[in-house]
Structure 1
Amino acid sequence: MGARVVRMFRNFNLENRVFREISKEKPRAAPRHAVSVPPSADASKAVDSVNQKNHPLLNHLRSVYVESTDPAAAAAAETSQELAQSKEAERRPLKFSLPGDPYGLVELTDVPKGKLTITEALKALSSHQRQPQTWTPEKIAQEYSLDLKDTKALLEFFIPFQVQIIPPKTENGQANKGFLGLDCW
């Protein structure tokens, strides 16, 4: 009730108040400080000397040839090549992949150690869900060349699908059979 009263007072004669505010004369901006610098003869000579060609200086510049190499860049290129070679050595073949061309992507043949493809991750998670005694985090980490800490975190926090059958209640209190609920995390 109070909001209605406040709204009435706030909107009372609104158009007239807006028109009055718009029709007010706008405040003028403050004038800028006048700067008067008389052109001097020295300034014009300096501008002319900058814009003119200096032929002796140009001849000296043409005679200079500098060739430089950065030793840090050469060392960085060598270390990047060594890293690329070591990373190639630290790759493992795929354990599991989908047949055909999934999702229009190029089929991978090997993966860096410590990484998983989506299909491998789903396969490892489903095998751990089905047989947790056989597929322990240690075995999965060894099988897929993963860090044990990352494997335990993957198994704890990544749950791809969890199927729950939730029967809806009917009017007489009995559950209706046949409803399938899917939770996707």
Structure 2
Amino acid sequence: MGARVGRMFRNFNLENRVHREIAKEKPRLAPRHAVTEPQQQPPAAAATSGEAAVEEAVNRKDDPLLALLRSVYVDSTDPAPAEATKQVTSVGGERRPLKFHLPASVYGLAELTDVPVGKLTIGEALKALSSHRRQPETWTPEKIALDYALDLKEAKSILEFFIPFQVEIIPPKDQETKQIKAS
């Protein structure tokens, strides 16, 4: 009840009070402190004795330091073998036709006709992995590397580390829980 009464007195004649406050003459701001700006001097006259000494020390040639600098000899060698650079250029230049592709309209990808040598598309990788999983004697890493123009080491790594459709069935903690049987 008290809040209602207080709100009534607060809002009483509010608009007139606002107009009166806006119409009042605002107090003037206090004058700012006078700032003395540094005088701009011509560049020749700007150098004082301390600045001149620093500038002279910067521009002076130090013969012992120059002699030490001339004695430094840097021999640089390229750690990468030459065949690594050949491989990079050949990968960018040579291309091979696709062996297998997924329908492009389903995934919204552009239709590819060829890929660089040493590379695989997702469709080709999935096809190679599923073929190897179904027939490991026929689809060996050597055959996959030959068919898809891959390095043998890369083909072995793909078959070892790229496992797309592996389903892990976690056994239940107790026998009452239903379990999916692996077929």
Q: TM-score range by the shorter chain?
A: 0.3 to 0.5
- Provide the TM-score with structure 1 as the length reference: 0.46
- Provide the TM-score with structure 2 as the length reference: 0.47
The structure with more radius of gyration: 2
Q: Greater strand share, 1 or 2?
A: 1
